[in-house]
């Protein structure tokens, strides 16, 4: 179920400039990869922002994305470091069987990629599909946001300079837990629709998908989630050999 050309295809090489400041999650995901021993299945691999540092740390990465432009960027970035990533054009909602790769000790979904799922039905189906691709006792890690009223009021229908010369515009629909995010550069403009869920919903869906050892943090420093937190970072495991909380 591949999507038509996406906002990420529209952004192309501007993607890395747009997320230049997003580095706080890299050490978190690389550390999980090192602990797992690999290989790692990364959903929404993008331009290799996390995958390349993971591979440089010596862990094999299989990256999945719906955007051909992003996969081309990831290949080029890996090649510049003398690396070769195993990259697959696919949608997380319809992952193909990966018989040659087997199952994974770790699956990651960085940079809020699960916000591309529009409702609990899609979220639960994806979580169950990812669990089927984990080894017994394997780990799923991802991060998401869930904005508060202040976040929405401060950015609603306003252009905000995210990076030099790169602007974002948000149209929030809190009653539907959705927004349209527009990213504008000197050369292009790209729109993406995103949908969020609250932490209690994620916890419920993880349980329904078969994950019964779940840690949740407010940030990548593993600080505790508190009422009003607008980001959450999840590390979920199914029960099985080696599944004790670490």
Say what the pTM is: 0.94
DSSP 8-state code for residue 231: E
The rounded distance, in Å, linking the Cα atoms of 84 and 78 is 6
pLDDT tens digits for range 51-69: 999 999 999 999 999 999 9
244: pLDDT confidence band, cut at 50, 70 and 90? very low
Span 30-34, average pLDDT: 98
Arithmetic mean of pLDDT over the chain: 94
| 97 confidence band (pLDDT: 50, 70, 90) | confident
Q: How confident is the model over 109-145, as pLDDT tens digits?
A: 999 999 999 999 999 999 999 999 999 999 999 999 9
DSSP 43-63: ES-TTSTTHHHHHHTT--EEE
Q: What are the residue ranges spanned by the domains of the chain?
A: 7-146+197-237
Q: What is the DSSP letter of 156?
A: B
Name the DSSP letter for residue 164: T
Residue 28 has pLDDT above 60, yes or no: yes
CATH architecture of 7-146+197-237: 3-Layer(aba) Sandwich (3.40)
- pLDDT-wise least confident of 68-82, 86-100, 152-166: 86-100
């Amino acid at each position: 179920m591949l999507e038509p050309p996406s906002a990420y295809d529209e952004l192309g090489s501007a993607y890395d400039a747009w997320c230049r400041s997003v580095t706080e999650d890299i050490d978190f995901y690389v550390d999980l990869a090192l602990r797992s021993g690999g290989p790692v299945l990364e959903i929404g691999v993008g331009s290799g922002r996390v995958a390349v540092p993971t591979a440089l740390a010596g862990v094999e990465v299989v990256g999945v994305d719906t955007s051909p432009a992003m996969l081309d960027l990831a290949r080029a970035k890996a090649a510049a470091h003398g690396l070769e990533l195993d990259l697959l054009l696919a949608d997380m909602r319809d992952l193909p069987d990966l018989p040659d790769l087997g199952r994974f000790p770790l699956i990651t979904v960085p940079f809020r990629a699960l916000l591309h799922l529009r409702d609990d039905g899609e979220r639960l189906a994806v979580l169950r599909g990812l669990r089927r691709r984990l080894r017994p006792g394997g780990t799923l890690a991802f991060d998401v946001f869930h904005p508060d009223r202040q976040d929405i009021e401060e950015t609603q229908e306003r252009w905000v300079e995210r990076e030099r010369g790169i602007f974002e515009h948000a149209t929030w629909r809190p009653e539907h837990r959705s927004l349209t995010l527009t990213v504008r550069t000197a050369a292009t403009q790209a729109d993406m629709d995103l949908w969020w869920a609250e932490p209690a919903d994620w916890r419920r869906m993880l349980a329904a998908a078969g994950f019964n050892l779940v840690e949740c943090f407010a940030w990548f420093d593993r600080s505790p989630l508190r009422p009003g937190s607008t980001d959450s970072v999840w590390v979920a495991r199914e029960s099985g050999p080696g599944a004790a909380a670490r």
